[in-house]
Structure 1
Amino acid sequence: MLYLCLKYLHIIAAIFLFGFGMGSYLYLIAASRTRNPQVIAHVARMVVGFDTWITTPAGFVQIITGYLLMRLSGLSMSTEWVLTSLIIFFCVGSLWLPVLLLQKRLCVMAASANEVGAALDEQYQAVYRKWFWMGVMGFAGMFVIVLMMSTKMTPVQLFSFLV
Structure 2
Amino acid sequence: MLYLGLKYLHVIAAIFLFGFGMGSYLYLIAASRTANPLVIAHVARMVVRFDTWITTPAGLVQIITGFFLMKLSGLPMTTEWVATSLIIFFCVGALWLPVLLLQKKLCAMASSAGEAGKGLDENYRAVYRRWFWMGVAGFAGMFVIVLMMVTKLTPVQLLNVLV
> TM-score, length-normalised on structure 1?
1.00
Q: Indicate the residue corresponding to 1:136 in structure 2.
A: 136
Aligned with 1:19: secondary structure? Answer: helix
| Structure-1 separation of matches of 2:23 and 2:75 | 33
Q: How does 1:14-163 map to 2 (within 5 A)?
A: 14-163=14-163
Q: What's the % identity of the aligned pairs?
A: 82
| Structure-2 separation of matches of 1:30 and 1:155 | 31
- Following TM superposition, the consecutive aligned residue runs of length 4 or more in structure 1 with deviations greater than 4 angstroms are none
| Structure-1 separation of matches of 2:20 and 2:145 | 17
Alignment: residue pair count: 163
Letter matched to residue 7 of structure 2: K
Distance apart, 1:146 and its partner CA: 0.3
> TM-score, length-normalised on structure 2?
1.00
Letter matched to residue 69 of structure 2: L
| Structure-2 separation of matches of 1:81 and 1:70 | 12
In structure 1, the gaps of 5 or more residues are none
| Structure-2 separation of matches of 1:152 and 1:20 | 24
Distance apart, 1:46 and its partner CA: 0.1
In structure 2, the gaps of 5 or more residues are none
| Structure-2 separation of matches of 1:29 and 1:136 | 12
| Structure-2 separation of matches of 1:61 and 1:17 | 9
